[in-house]
Structure 1
């Protein structure tokens, strides 16, 4: 049985789902039987484009389990005549969110044929549907009710052909993000905690308290939306998550979460990039505890954990306009920018 014959999966454009306007490929939703071939498609694309990070099979397995963004109506795979996936698109959205996020990839051998444009059109059509579904009404502009649909796509600045396609398709850059590295061969900083605060390992029993603290910390950050249990589970249960390289700062008297540093490590990137890195996925300090050196202490602790695990660098990403002044802090701690990613948005009119 070829992937074209996989049972129980709707064809893209069947029922109420939008069609993909590229008839040279057979389009349908992704399913569990596609995991290997889907991951291979992404890996082929990554080998040509060299992104810092890309989804692997274990990530796709997590995506398959999503209840908030089920893959059936929110993915399309484009298969050639032999049943080999040559392109895909995926959409995610929080039910009450102000934007949807789009992801896609096109096999290098199928690029510059119009596949990317067709995937963008599908993502935009599906975004309109998701907003209508989530609001229980037509999207704004159709009858004057509901929120205006917005689609956001993140692309590394070095992916010039993808950036050009987005610009030509009416997207605008709304934010810049900097990947920053800190060599661990340099002397590591000392950053003791204030009296009344204690640093402890990240453990499963702290996960919910850290989630709630994270939602409070990022309430005033651009583009951030509260994380529910499912989206938080994607972070703490990520295949690359490293709780042993993570830590939480607690108030000694109450045990409440003051700050946190959640880290991951991808051993496969060392082959492509030529160094090993401990990556800080999330770093946050609750507003009422800011200015007491908590972030510095968490970063210094992370560097020591990374170095003890044999890593060459500490790394993280930061919004270039972060309201807490994070860029200045990271530079002070020895981090330097090495790569830039762009957030592209398109407001979708009916």
Structure 2
């Protein structure tokens, strides 16, 4: 019988977490490699309550599975908590994943009662569609697919053309002085995106302007006031593993009143040219397949092509 030690995650688990996630990547091939600094950044997420809402399984000193729940700083009507986790490939099919999902749903109820007790609770799981066993596991716990997200990629090189900027618009690179303008536009632009919520300053620093942030490839569009944003991240561990420098467009958005003017296309073209000029081999982005703003079409028109698809699974509790 499998004998494991179970306890909540803590910030001292960054190395063990990175080792586990890299072992998972070696089999699942979802394109996510980690350094210890990357996993530490996730462990210090201000909205991940490790004591109340995380669990890790250890075989000796080796982490073989984990789950972590992140609650929302703000919510309206529905509080969607995010349940993340994984199991070492050598330990799958032995009940570890099921135990972690069950613990995650229970933990979601705990943090929900602390932060948004009057709202409806939904637990979300986001996983690559091709990972063996995930669909059967989450379906067995009552989760159902509610959204699909497509990863798109664009090879870079000298052939990337310059994209004209619409009249009256100015595109500028990120500076610390204007960081709040970037966050403001992101929050305004994503108000009507499914499942999105405003990012407070502490979450912005944790998820966006961390060690993966690429300020030279992050741009703001102004029409007097800031109206569009594109933020790029890069993961050192991915390049170390694959040899490919991938500029990931993590945030791309335009405030509602300025859409249909070519602002997003101008930002994408500007960022593609900048990434090529700075020695990146590829650009990538993840888009909601059902996004009413037509993001997928904008990226496909810019030359992006689909690769991996992810599924958002949801469980109303």
Q: Would you call these one fold, judging by a TM-score over 0.5?
A: yes
Offset of residue 312 of structure 1: 2.1
Contact kept, 8 Å, 1:42 with 1:56, in 2: the verdict is no
**Residue equivalent to 1:323:** 292
Once superposed, which parts of structure 1, at least 4 consecutive aligned residues long, lie more than 6 Å away?
A: none
Correspondence 1:1-350 to 2 at 5 A: 24-80=3-59, 82-97=60-75, 98-136=79-117, 146-185=118-157, 187-251=159-223, 254=224, 256-270=225-239, 272-273=241-242, 275-348=244-317
Aligned partners of 2:242 and 2:314: how far apart in 1? 29
Corresponding residue SS for 1:219: coil
Aligned partners of 1:132 and 1:206: how far apart in 2? 36
Q: Residues 196 and 344 of structure 1: is their aligned pair in 2 closer, same or farther, counting only changes over 3 Å?
A: same
Offset of residue 274 of structure 1: 5.8
Aligned partners of 2:195 and 2:174: how far apart in 1? 26
**Partner deviation per Cα, 1:273-318 (whole Å, 9 max, x = no partner):** 5633211110111122222211111111111111112222221111
Q: Residues 303 and 179 of structure 1: is their aligned pair in 2 closer, same or farther, counting only changes over 3 Å?
A: same
**Partner deviation per Cα, 1:232-256 (whole Å, 9 max, x = no partner):** 11233222111111111122xx4x2
Aligned partners of 1:32 and 1:339: how far apart in 2? 31
Aligned partners of 2:129 and 2:43: how far apart in 1? 29
Contact kept, 8 Å, 1:171 with 1:346, in 2: the verdict is yes
Offset of residue 117 of structure 1: 0.3
Q: Residues 180 and 263 of structure 1: is their aligned pair in 2 closer, same or farther, counting only changes over 3 Å?
A: same
Aligned partners of 1:223 and 1:161: how far apart in 2? 25
Offset of residue 187 of structure 1: 3.1
Contact kept, 8 Å, 1:281 with 1:316, in 2: the verdict is yes
Q: CA RMSD in A?
A: 2.0
Aligned partners of 1:120 and 1:286: how far apart in 2? 37
Corresponding residue SS for 1:53: coil
Aligned partners of 1:203 and 1:154: how far apart in 2? 32
Offset of residue 272 of structure 1: 4.4
Corresponding residue SS for 2:15: helix
Give the structure with the larger strand fraction.
Answer: 2
Aligned partners of 2:210 and 2:85: how far apart in 1? 20
Aligned partners of 2:291 and 2:228: how far apart in 1? 17
Contact kept, 8 Å, 1:155 with 1:163, in 2: the verdict is no
Offset of residue 85 of structure 1: 1.7
**Partner deviation per Cα, 1:307-345 (whole Å, 9 max, x = no partner):** 112222221111011111111111111111111011011
How many residues are matched?
Answer: 314
Between structure 1 and structure 2, the one with the greater Rg is 1
Aligned partners of 1:34 and 1:297: how far apart in 2? 42
Aligned partners of 2:70 and 2:305: how far apart in 1? 31
Q: Which runs of 5+ in 2 are unaligned?
A: none
**Partner deviation per Cα, 1:47-78 (whole Å, 9 max, x = no partner):** 22222225542123223433332322222111
Offset of residue 23 of structure 1: 8.0
Corresponding residue SS for 1:129: helix
Aligned partners of 1:95 and 1:303: how far apart in 2? 33
